[in-house]
Structure 1
Amino acid sequence: MSSADGRAVSDADANRAVSLTLRVGELLLANGEGTENVTAAMLAIGRTYGLRRIEADVNLSALTLSLVRDDGRLPVTAERRVRRREPDFARLIALHELVDEVTGQRPSLAEAQRRLRELTGRAGVYPGWVVVTALALVSTSAAVLVGGGVVVALAAFLATALGDRAGAWLARRGVAEFFQLAVAAAVGTAAAVFMIWRQMPVQASAVVVGAVIALLPGRPLVACVQDGIAGEYVTATARLSEVVFIVAAVISGIGTMLTFAVKAGVSVTVNDAPAAPLSLAVPQLLGALGLGLTFAVALRVPPRHVPPAAFGSVAIWIVYVCLCWLKLPTVLATTAAAAVIGLLGSAYAHRVRVPPMVFVIPAIGPLLPGSELFRGMLKLSLGDVLGGSHYLIEALSIALGIGAGVILGIDLLRAMRRRDVTRRIRQAARRTRGY
């Protein structure tokens, strides 16, 4: 076994290379990268340091690297668990830069390990309070998008901030994330129920929609569809389960609070459920812009990349509204708008040499099905099982359409360019024809 420059690789160096490869793969996966890209990065690093016969197996919570030597020495198999997954797109960009540096400049193992330690020890791009505030402003922007006024926007901000802090308090005491999300959704619903009970002359339910959109799993959803389309079915199934549990937690919080409200005699009706107007008026454009901006900050996108992500959110809303004006079905319009932003985001990402998801994930915020989820749970709480199920299925269809559209847009750009825009991650697509 020899390195890229022809020198033999010692057992110690091989083990260090395996450790470096697994650590980079773990950080990529933990910070929101798709399975296909993580696998490609691991294989590229391993081969750079002379690990010629390696296989990488990437799952949602574990990575395995197997090294089979052709010189008679014992094979090596190592595994690393991903215990914490929290998207940090600034760190994701830095990791991709490190992978490019390793594969392009081929620094020594010691130097690569030093660079990785520096990267992981680096302070976050934003202070913690900025990220928490951005998450609350996501809810505020969504409330504006669906037609809420100043009072509703302020209520959405306070309810989301309170729900997030309640979730953090539960997390410090070891309570499962499912219940953290349920409590956060319940807090937003309680704020809306209180405003309806007090008969305040505002679109109170927009508070719930804003709080729900701040909790919906846009990044896991896109990664799930990406892995499924790439043929990583095990990981795609695991990611889908994650999405289902997150949505179930949000639904549980909304449903529990609405059920209590109905039982207490609060006159919550389907007419209270808002939907974003299909309009390009200033409030809707500002709401879409705010969603992209605040989602980008909440996902820790570096400041220089925040404006393109924010304007991508406006673009996806404009395309979606125009397609709806052409009488396209909601799911089809959502998928097509997501494909457009996937194409544009991928082109821009290729130009500035960062992962496409840095721009695409914040931009899909205006299309997330917060209103449909609230309408579904409201109808179920009022005893309309058929109507509630209809809205929940519509919400799921919209969510899957967003994921499929984003990946379609990225792959369209890949097909149109002579050189693979994703650094030749996928040499050729597999053809099974369904069997």
Structure 2
Amino acid sequence: MALPAGGSAGDPESITQEQLVLSLNFVADAGQLMLESSSSVSEVVVRLRELLPALGLTGCSLDADLSSLVLSYWRPDLALPITTMRDVQVGSPLLHRLAGTSLLLDRLERGQISLAEATTRLAQLRNQPPPQRRFAWSALLLSVAGWVVFLYGPDPVTILVALAATLITFPIAPLVRRVHLAELAGTFLSALVLAAVPNLAYAAGVPVAVGPAVVGALFIYLPGRVLVSSVVDGLNNAPLSSLARGLQALVTAGTLAVGMLAGGALGTGLGIRYVPNTAAVPLALSALGAAIGILGVAIAWGMPRAQLLPAVAIGTGGWVVASLGSQLGTVSGWFVYAVAAGCVGAVGALTARLRDSAASIYTGVAILPLVPGFTLYQGMLALADGHTAAGIATLGAATVTSLAVAVGVAAGLALTTDVYQVRIRLPHRRR
């Protein structure tokens, strides 16, 4: 069954009640899949509202948050409104589902496929595993190696210790689920292990750079994507999801910090002392590390191959902007990072516009080099070593930078949308 998809959906009353129910169910299923694939709520709502007129659902009420999605439609010939609801369970990012659903909606809106065919393909997409699923753990290890290079350079010992610590954390999440503990317990234990293993290796005489080993492994757990989604939702009139995402990012970061503090306390007990980090990796080397780190995370999150290189290029470019800006010395660090994040947001939106996809597919991984993970570690290590004032100041700087990055990405997305008068996708002229 093909519904009108063009400049007009035709006479809404010519669409039967059965067709209305099928359309509403499809939109609800598509929205549920996008939300559960870890997209921002506002981005999903905007995309679904663009689709509704093409399905003859002009005037349909749509409400969504992180736990549910509700659609309700009424017209004069209906005795009662037709309402459908979906429960939403947000989990790990599944970017192949987000990209596939976005493309499917575009094809349906253009009239290239029927609603029945779109419904069938959506069901197939829900059951489809990530394209590189068997490489997920290997991809995360590749990412960790890249982040160590990004922070410290290609030191084999430090890379191996970081990889060993990461391997130990892989069974933690399944174990936590099996014994029915809170997810945050797994986050804490992972951070504790990531901080403890390099410290123990150093105490045993292994010539490892403890900070880069800890933070390089920690990068894959940082909630940067969630924080950006919180700010984007806040700027797009989705306050409940914005608060929920913000609280999630805060609690996750706090749990990671406590785990690092425990590991840092172990390190200070073994004689490791707080030393402010002043070393700088050459830009070319840090950019290479950032590219490898982004690539590994993108593969692990199921990003389709067509989006991998653009995401890596956007993230690496954002880091180059931040690094060059930091060398000026006349501008505050948080402002430099905000500008770099703004570039990531703007280029991510443009890329999504050109490639018929959601901007969050690119920005969620591209911002990782800008997340101040090493600064956070330095602050927790200072607190563990008794340097309270230095620790608080360092953690304050990390917090300000994190917020600047999130706001910068959101501003880049919003500015691009305003300048080109588009949503965060390629609009198609209806014929």
Q: For residues 127 and 331 of structure 1, do their structure 2 counterparts lie closer, same or farther at Cα, with a shift above 3 Å needed?
A: same
Map of 1:325 onto structure 2? 327
Change (3 A) 1:24 1:417: same
Q: CA RMSD in A?
A: 2.3
- Please say if 1:176 is aligned against 2:179: no
| 2:356 counterpart residue number | 353
Q: Deviations over 1:137-172 (max 9, x none)?
A: 222211111115111011112211221222232223
Displacement of 1:108 in angstroms is 4.3
Query: How far apart are 1:231 and its partner, in Å?
Result: 2.0
Identity %: 26
Task: Give the equivalent residue in structure 1 for 2:139.
Answer: 134
CA contact (8 A) 1:145 1:276 kept: no
Aligned counterparts, 1:35-434, within 5 A = 35-71=41-77, 73-105=79-111, 107-128=113-134, 130-147=135-152, 149-262=155-268, 265-271=269-275, 274=277, 277=280, 279-280=282-283, 282-327=284-329, 328-417=331-420, 419-420=422-423, 422-423=425-426
Structure-1-length-normalised TM-score: 0.89
Q: Using structure 2 for the length normalisation, give the TM-score.
A: 0.90
Q: CA 1:313 to 1:418, structure 2 compared with 1: closer, same or farther past 3 Å?
A: closer
For residue 198 of structure 1, report the CA deviation from its aligned partner: 2.1
SS in 1 for 2:57: coil
The number of residue pairs the alignment matches comes to 419
CA 1:85–1:204: 2 relative to 1, 3 Å: same
1:147·1:283 contact (CA, 8 Å) conserved in 2? no
> In 2, are the aligned partners of 1:227 and 1:233 still within 8 Å (CA)?
yes
Query: What per-residue deviation string (whole Å, max 9, x for no partner) do you get for residues 234-286 of structure 1?
Result: 11111101101111221121122223444xx3112112x65662631x43232
Change (3 A) 1:58 1:401: same
Change (3 A) 1:40 1:421: closer
Residue 331 of structure 1, CA deviation: 0.8
Q: In the TM superposition, what is the alpha-carbon distance from 1:200 to its structure 2 partner?
A: 3.0
Task: Give structure 1 stretches of 5+ with no counterpart.
Answer: 426-435
CA distance in 1, matches of 2:76, 2:426: 29
* Structure 2 CA distance for partners of 1:111 and 1:231, relative to 1, 3 Å: same
Which residue identity lines up with residue 120 of structure 1 in the other structure?
Answer: R
Write the deviation string for residues 122-150 of structure 1: whole angstroms up to 9, x where unpaired: 2321123x111212222221111111511
State the shift of 1:385 in Å. Answer: 3.1
CA contact (8 A) 2:227 2:406 kept: yes
Q: Quick check: 392-401 or 70-79, which moved more?
A: 70-79
Confirm or deny: 8 A CA contact 2:66 2:89 kept in the other structure. no
The structure whose RCO (Cα within 8 Å, separation 6+) is larger is 2
